[in-house]
C-alpha cells in the first residue's frame, strides 16, 4: 500500500489527536466537508444535494474507506488518494455501519462525526500550504467568473440569464456551482435572491459559491449601469467599514464567539440600525464548508492562523463578501481579480461597484 501524501499524513495526525482527546478508538467521517478534506479534496458526491458516496473510518492502525460498489471504479480511477484500505457495499447498503463492512470495527469504540464535530472543524481549520495555494487559485477563478459575467451583462439581461453565465463560468474552471444568486434593481432588498426572469435594470448584485477540490470560494459583486446614486455609494462605503471592523479583530486564539459583539457594534457605529445584524447571517470561517461554522451565539470554535474566512455584512441594497485568509501578517484577500475596481478601506483593497 502506498504511503499517504504529506498533507494527508498531517490531517491523519490531527484526527488521531481528536481521538486521543476524546478517549475513542476511531471516528467515522461521513459528511462532505470532512470526507473531502481528509481525502485531499476528492469529489465524493454525485448529487450536489446528496450525501457523499464514500465514508472513512479513521483509527489508530489505519484508514478504512467504504463506497457503494457502483461508485468504486470511478472513485479509484479518478479521485481517491493512496494509502487507504477500500471496502465496498451494495448500492443499497449503508456506509454508516462500519462493523458491517469491516469486522475490525466491532472491537473499537467508534465516535460519530457529530460527537466530535467541533474538534474536527478545528482539525481542518488551519490550511496546509498546498491547500492554501489551491484555495487562492479557486478564489481568483471565482472572482474572474464574476468579472466576466458582469462585464457581459446589460440592463436587459435577466437574472436567470446572468445566473446561467455565472454557472457556465464556474463549470468551465472546474468548480461546482453550489450557490448562484442574482438580484436586479427591483429585488435588492432580498439577502438570498434566487434568480428570476426579471431584468437586471440599473443595478444588480451577483453571488457565487463555487467548490473545487473540496474547498468553497464565496464572492459577491455589484454592477451598475450609469453613475452611482449618492445614497447607495454611501451605504456601500459604510458596509465595507462594518466588514473592516471584523477583519481588524481577527487574531489566532480568539474565541470565534467574541466576534459577535464586534459585528453587533459595527452596524450602529457605521450608521446602520442596531438590529441589522439579526436580519442575515454574518459569515464565519470558510474552507470545506460554505461557513465552517457560521458565526452565531455560543459557537465553541477558536480562530486559527492560516484559517480562511468569509464575512458578509449586509443591509438593504448593500452587501460585501470575499474569501480571505488569516496569515501571520494579518488578513489577505484570496478572491481577487485585478480587473475589478477597488476602494481602499483601512489599508486593504475592497471591491467597489463595477460601473458600466
In the chain, where the domains are located: 6-125, 129-355
The answer to whether residues 273 and 267 touch, using CB atoms and an 8 Å cutoff, is yes
Q: What is the pLDDT of residues 175-200, one digit of tens each?
A: 999 999 999 999 999 999 999 999 99
* Cβ count near 244 (within 10 Å): 21
Q: Which of 352, 320, 347 has its CA nearest to residue 331?
A: 347
Mean pLDDT along residues 270-280: 98
The answer to whether residues 53 and 59 touch, using CB atoms and an 8 Å cutoff, is no
The answer to whether residues 161 and 184 touch, using CB atoms and an 8 Å cutoff, is no
Q: Identify the band that residue 83 occupies on the pLDDT scale cut at 50, 70 and 90.
A: confident
- For 355, phi then psi, to 5°, come to -100, 130
What is the share, in percent, of the chain residues with pLDDT greater than 70? 99
* Cβ count near 271 (within 10 Å): 14
pLDDT of residue 1: 47
Instruction: Name the pTM for this structure.
Output: 0.97
pLDDT of residue 99: 96
* Domain 129-355 class, CATH top level: alpha beta
- What CATH code is assigned to 6-125? 3.40.350.10
Pull the grid cell for residue 297: 451565539
DSSP three-state, residue 303: coil
Amino acid at each position: 500500500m502506498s504511503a499517504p501524501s504529506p498533507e494527508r499524513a498531517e490531517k491523519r495526525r490531527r484526527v488521531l489527536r481528536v481521538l486521543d482527546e476524546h478517549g475513542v478508538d476511531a471516528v467515522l467521517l461521513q459528511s462532505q466537508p470532512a470526507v473531502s478534506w481528509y481525502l485531499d479534496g476528492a469529489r465524493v458526491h454525485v448529487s450536489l444535494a446528496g450525501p457523499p458516496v464514500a465514508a472513512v473510518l479513521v483509527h489508530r492502525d489505519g484508514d478504512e474507506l467504504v463506497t457503494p460498489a457502483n461508485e468504486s471504479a470511478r472513485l479509484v480511477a479518478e479521485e481517491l488518494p493512496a494509502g487507504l484500505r477500500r471496502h465496498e457495499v451494495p448500492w443499497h447498503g449503508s456506509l454508516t455501519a462500519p462493523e458491517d463492512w469491516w469486522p475490525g470495527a466491532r472491537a473499537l469504540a467508534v465516535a460519530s462525526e457529530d460527537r466530535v464535530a467541533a474538534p474536527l472543524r478545528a482539525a481542518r481549520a488551519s490550511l496546509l500550504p498546498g491547500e492554501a495555494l489551491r484555495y487562492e487559485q479557486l478564489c481568483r477563478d471565482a472572482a474572474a467568473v464574476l468579472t466576466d459575467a458582469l462585464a457581459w451583462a446589460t440592463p436587459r439581461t435577466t437574472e436567470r440569464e446572468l445566473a446561467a453565465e455565472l454557472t457556465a463560468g464556474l463549470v468551465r474552471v472546474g468548480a461546482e456551482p453550489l450557490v448562484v444568486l442574482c438580484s436586479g434593481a427591483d429585488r435588492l432588498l432580498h439577502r438570498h435572491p434566487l434568480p428570476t426572469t426579471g431584468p437586471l435594470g440599473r443595478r444588480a448584485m451577483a453571488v457565487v459559491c463555487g467548490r473545487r477540490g473540496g474547498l468553497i470560494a464565496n464572492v459577491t459583486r455589484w454592477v451598475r449601469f450609469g453613475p452611482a446614486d449618492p445614497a447607495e455609494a454611501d451605504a456601500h462605503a459604510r458596509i465595507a467599514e462594518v466588514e473592516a471592523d471584523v477583519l481588524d479583530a481577527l487574531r489566532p486564539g480568539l474565541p470565534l464567539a467574541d466576534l459577535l459583539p464586534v459585528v453587533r457594534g459595527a452596524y450602529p457605529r457605521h450608521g446602520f440600525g442596531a438590529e441589522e445584524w439579526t436580519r442575515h447571517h454574518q459569515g464565519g470561517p470558510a474552507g470545506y464548508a460554505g461557513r465552517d461554522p457560521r458565526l452565531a451565539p455560543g459557537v465553541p470554535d477558536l480562530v486559527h492562523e492560516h484559517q480562511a474566512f468569509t464575512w458578509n455584512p449586509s443591509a438593504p441594497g448593500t452587501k460585501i463578501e470575499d474569501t480571505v485568509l488569516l496569515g501571520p501578517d494579518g488578513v489577505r484577500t484570496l478572491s481577487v481579480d485585478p480587473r475589478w475596481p477597488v476602494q481602499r478601506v483601512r489599508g486593504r483593497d475592497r471591491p467597489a461597484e463595477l460601473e458600466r
